[in-house]
Structure 1
Amino acid sequence: MSEQQNKGFVREINGPIVTIDLPGIRSGEQVRIGELGLVGEVISLAGREAVVQTYESTDGVRPGEPAEGLGWPLSVELGPGLLGEIFDGIQRPLEKIALESGDYIRRGLALPGLDREKRWEFEPNPELAPGQSIGPGTVLGTVQETETIQHRILVPPDHQGELTELAPGGEYRVEDSIAHLRDAHGHSLHLTLFHRWPVRKPRPYRQRDDGISPLITGQRVIDSFFPQLKGGKGAVPGPFGAGKTVVQQQIARWSNADIVIYVGCGERGNELVDVLESFPQLEDPYTGRKLMEKTLLVANTSNMPVVAREASVYVGLTMAEYYRDMGYDVVMLADSTSRWAEALREVSGRLGQMPVEEGYPAYLASRLAAVYERAGRVETYNAGAGSVTLIGAVSPPGGDFSEPVTSHTKDIIETFWALSKELADARHYPSIDWVTSFSGHVHAAAEWWHKEVDRHWEGRRTEALALLARDAELSRIVNLVGPEALSDAQRWQLEGASLIKEGVLQQSALDEVDTFCSPQKQFALLDLALSTYDKGMTLIEIGVPVSHLQDLPQLAKARRCKSMYTSEQVARINDLAREIDEAFESIRLEYAKQHTDD
């Protein structure tokens, strides 16, 4: 369909919802509205009358102003030049917007997502030749997008036919033709370095596979206790101030994914500014290059138009699927899906739809499920296996996990990292509550841990969680009647749980040494805490007073060694474990001698 459609006009305006009269318009099509040329999307259609949700404020727009269809649904441009960029909720590059209109986005400003002037060095696929049949996902060639990421130029999912021409190697702009093919009807189609894809339509793949390896985030409470597989679905719910954004930023900074997409969806501007300013300065721990070489950001703050907030998650997902189709492992972080759901609620209310629980539309659960189901590990058409790991932050009002967005999300996802206000108030970060959090990926992740790190990982994890559960029960008794009511064995259980909480679970994002922890160091710290507890319990059982063990200076060292030794100094942690063994053995011998003398 051509870009110029029949002209129409505005009938009615209700905030971001505009009713227009436009012949030939189709549901889901993008339109331009008013003298300002505001962009919107058709969400309801009755004959030639269409209801449009606009992605910009409609202040000043009047009935009777012109409206026209653009001929395609809300789509994103997919091609080289995405990585390192910062986009708004409908894929307009914010840095170019700042040059055009200053600190505030001028309404109606239309900028392409990809730079039209930059030239890219294209290297054609040597295995392709004219006359071959090609289809969705065929790799036409490659472009070195950044120092670390090779961008594979793919045949779009809706194209197939006979290759009639493939451009030689050289420099090309994204709009330049690099291949021609003839489809089944004999029509000639030209392919460029980029293509458009509708954001609400999942990109196809050959088949879905099970996840096989964990997403290593460098955060101990996640990797060692509640692991997430590549291609999995996770959520980080928590009340205001519990640290959701910091957890997601840590995952974005330190995860072993090939590509990171961070979608700031309706969050406070100061938090997103921190992301936008800090990410370009960070170094990727796996390559030593700038983190932005494998990252792209979608920023839609709480003061930006609410409908663009709803679109931003789909924009991020579509770009994630595009890199997945190249065979990359992508992690996408949505901060937060609660703000996204609030956008659904506002639009639903303006449309007069029947509200259900807490004013959300009846289709909230199905929309959430449709978004999370776009995550997964898949077999692509021609680039091997790729994955999209989707992790969404949830902001339940007052920390109430029974509210609709959190409860529906909990039914959909596989990994649930519940943040606790009590832990955050106690300055225990990350404040992931080990009692209410869960992971459905433990057994699958165990295969990787046992092969790559230590075959006792799953058993040690189970022991630690059991000890933490006993600690929760004993802590309630202490709160009621005081620690004097506990036996020495019970008091040592509290001490062992404290070792795990302070020496393993607590981790400072601001500590230069402890902000990232390798799997090997994670297991060494966990094993140190549990070995110390086990050997101490053996001494308690033979009658050694618990106070004698609590006074050992090595216990304080065990709590601090997470920030004393880097991930390359795991041997030093093992040395500390031997030092504690020697101290315990000395106590045992001394106690045995006293017992013999008596």
Structure 2
Amino acid sequence: MNNNLIYSINGPVVTVKDSKDFSMQEMVFVGNKEMMGEVIGIDEQYTTIQVYESTTGLKPGEPVRPSGSLLSATLGPGILKNIFDGIERPLKELMETEGAFIAAGTTVSPLDEEKLWDVTMQVKLHDRLRSGQIYATCPETELIEHRCMLSPMLPEGEVIFVADHGQYHINDEIVRIRDDQGEEHALTLTQKWPIRNPRPVGFRKPITRPLITGQRVIDTLFPIAKGGAAAIPGGFGSGKTMTQHQLAKWCDADIIVYVGCGERGNEMTQVLEEFTDLIDPKSNKPLLARTVLIANTSNMPVAAREASIYTGITLAEYYRDMGYHVAIMADSTSRWAEALREISGRLEEMPAEEGFPAYLPSRISQFYERAGYIETLNGAEGSVTIIGAVSPQGADFSEPVTQNTKRFVRCFWALDKSLAYARHYPAINWNDSYSEYLDDLARWYDKNVDREFNTLRQEIRAILHEENQLMEIVKLIGSDVLPEDQKLTMEIAKVIRVGYLQQNAYHPADTYVPFEKQFKMLKIISYLNAQAKKLVARRIPVSLIAKTGIIDKVVKIKYDVPNDQLELLDGYFEMIDQALAQVE
């Protein structure tokens, strides 16, 4: 007989009285419907559980059953192309069995147990299998090979059975090992891993390579490194989700994990529809073939938001351990923090700033610290890059989630409402944003782009900084009183803002920009600035230079030069010389 009965219910928080059968962070099954929950507090009298499903209809006196294991994700082939909820239930299968609304206590295998996979064995009898070593592979999608590894939770041992190459279900035994104590362990295509525990690595490597996004303002001014962490804070309507969509579509990661944490359902629908239709530019195959989506919309149970972030990062680490470069988009970590605040309030914990729990900084750091560029246990290289959106209320960057996130990321892309309302996208404010990866990546730019690239970047930043200072004067007394050299600075800054930093996600030539085009555009803008300065030094007014139309021509480079005809850019230097010669 089960003596573990529900004593009280407070939203998603359930307590059991006078029980010694539970351990911290253990996964449990709550109520007659066996809803999934996790133990979050134990004292002499009460065991506190947070339930990851709706507790509507739950009553005191219903049983609570321990599982004996931590809340874990099932890892194996079939993750990619799938869409899960926050506790790794596949939403497509749930829709087929449950309809549009998920009933409480619904259990379905995270991965398809009926599908056959073409498995190629990578070990033979009497081999020594070590932690993280690959023992079988299968083509998971047309783009990604799935590599089954010995779980770090199992001891190393001698292979005593190997199945033949062929087709197998995910739970079929394909390898058996015997450890040094004589115990035998059956290996399948899957493994389980506790979502709150980081997966072990060989060692962390220095960060030296950028995550190339094809977005000029990011790649040029505020780059993020592979294995780095970035935050995208911004108020409502400033383009956080759109920016993350662009990064997910175009960044050069091998695999994308997109976590919609507490976002609007229509936004997740848009992600699904877009990703289904998109073609991966590198392979001309569907982008979904290297993407996994975790949808935890704003109307889903609030506690599951907290789990969705950890589920996403665990899936990312799993593919990293295979030797892939993974980018995880978390949209938005503020909704996750709000879930922490709601549960903390129901637990009657002492609130800290703005009602958030005192452990908010440590939870945020635990998440972002799981980024990194590493050597895996099997000697391969892999990385997890975390890009987290933050939604500060009223676009107030001084609120606790944004401020604590700044402490643990080295890249900060501050979105500006006024830029968004002016239709300047991505609405990344170049005065408030920063990247601390510039020095780490400088050598890569010198080697793979051009030694001049870093100099051009500094020149662009200096012009934008000077424009920002001049704008204070212009607001007070107008631009007519400025000397000609400062008027030229304002004109060149406008070219940089409109012609370079502003990017049209819906234009085929502008949605993604290769590094070669970015570099040549910078050279053309710098050349225009240098040549125009010579005229201004000879007392020729900027208004005459503007009348030639060359400034507008340079602004329109992003649309006029397709990405596959970059040789056209070489003609712009001569075009600038001819236009400015007319002024002389």
TM-score range, shorter chain: over 0.9
| 1:156 aligned residue | 151
Shift of 1:558: 1.1
Match of 1:336 in 2: 332
Q: Paired residue for 2:311, among 293, 315, 318?
A: 315
Structure 1 CA distance, aligned partners of 2:446 and 2:251?
A: 20
Instruction: State the 1:383 CA deviation.
Output: 4.5
- Letter matched to residue 53 of structure 1: Q
SS at match of 1:152: strand
- Structure 1: gaps (5+ residues): 592-598
Deviation of 1:443 after TM superposition, in Å, equals: 2.1
Structure 2 match to 1:62? 59
Structure 1 contact 503–525 (Cα < 8 Å) conserved: no
Could you tell me whether the CA contact under 8 Å between 1:335 and 1:393 is conserved in 2?
A: yes
1:73-472 matched pairs, under 5 angstroms:
73-125=70-122, 128-159=123-154, 160-472=156-468
The answer to whether the Cα contact below 8 Å between 1:230 and 1:389 also exists between their aligned partners in 2 is: yes
Aligned to 2:579: 583
1:26 is the counterpart of 2:7: no
Match for 1:155: what amino acid? L
Q: TM-score, normalised by structure 1?
A: 0.96
Q: Which amino acid aligns with 1:84?
A: K
Equivalent pair of 1:503/1:529 in contact (CA under 8 Å): no
CA deviation digits over 1:431-455, x for unaligned, max 9?
A: 0011111111112222222222222
- Give yes or no for the alignment of 1:567 onto 2:567: no
Q: Are the counterparts in 2 of residues 137 and 383 from structure 1 also a CA contact under 8 Å?
A: no
- Number of the residue aligned with 1:44: 41
Superposition deviation, residue 585 in structure 1: 3.4
Q: Distance in 1 between matches of 2:560 and 2:276?
A: 28
Q: Determine if contact 1:236/1:244 at 8 Å carries over to the other structure.
A: yes
Structure 1 counterpart of 2:496: 500
- Equivalent residues of 1:325, 1:383 under 8 A apart: no
Q: Is the 8 A contact 1:326 1:383 kept in 2?
A: no
Residues 170 and 529 of structure 1: CA distance in aligned 2, closer, same or farther (over 3 Å):
same
SS of 1:320's equivalent? Answer: helix
CA distance in 2, matches of 1:205, 1:492: 53
Q: CA deviation at 1:583?
A: 1.7
- What amino acid maps onto 1:174 in structure 2? I
Question: CA–CA distance in 1 between the matches of 2:582 and 2:163?
Answer: 76
Whole-angstrom CA distance in 2 between matches of 1:455 and 1:586: 33
| Structure 2 gap ranges (5+) | none
Do the aligned residues in 2 keep the contact of 1:329 with 1:386 (CA within 8 Å)? Answer: yes
Give the superposition deviation at 1:265.
Answer: 0.4
Separation in 2, partners of 1:326, 1:283: 24
CA drift of 1:586 comes to: 4.0
Look up the SS of the partner of 2:105 in the other structure: coil
Aligned residue for 1:53? Answer: 50
Task: Summarize the Cα distance change of 1:86–1:504 in structure 2 as closer, same or farther, 3 Å threshold.
Answer: same
Say if 1:18 and 1:53, in contact at 8 Å, map to a contact too.
yes
Figure out how many residues of one structure are paired with residues of the other and give that number: 582
Q: Alpha carbons of 1:445 and 1:578: their partners in 2 closer, same or farther (altered >3 Å)?
A: farther
Task: State how far apart, in whole Å, the 2-side matches of 1:6 and 1:114 are.
Answer: 31
The aligned amino acid for 1:12 is S
Does the 8 Å contact 2:157/2:177 carry over to 1? yes
Q: Distance in 2 between matches of 1:155 and 1:407?
A: 39
Alpha-carbon offset, residue 7 of structure 1: 5.6
SS of equivalent to 1:278 = helix
3-state SS, counterpart of residue 344 of structure 1: helix
Counterpart residue identity of residue 85, structure 1: N
What TM-score do you get using the length of structure 2 for normalisation? 0.98
In structure 1, C-alpha distance between the alignment counterparts of 2:174 and 2:43, rounded to whole Å:
41
Q: Which residue of 1 aligns with 2:507?
A: 511
Question: Which region of structure 1 is more displaced relative to structure 2, 576-585 or 79-88?
Answer: 576-585
Q: Per the alignment, do residues 564 and 265 of structure 1 end up closer, same or farther by CA in structure 2, a change over 3 Å counting?
A: same
Q: Name the CA shift for 1:170/1:383 in 2 (closer, same or farther; >3 Å).
A: farther
Question: Contact (CA 8 Å) 1:467, 1:493: kept in 2 or not?
Answer: yes
Q: How much has 1:516 moved relative to structure 2? A: 0.6
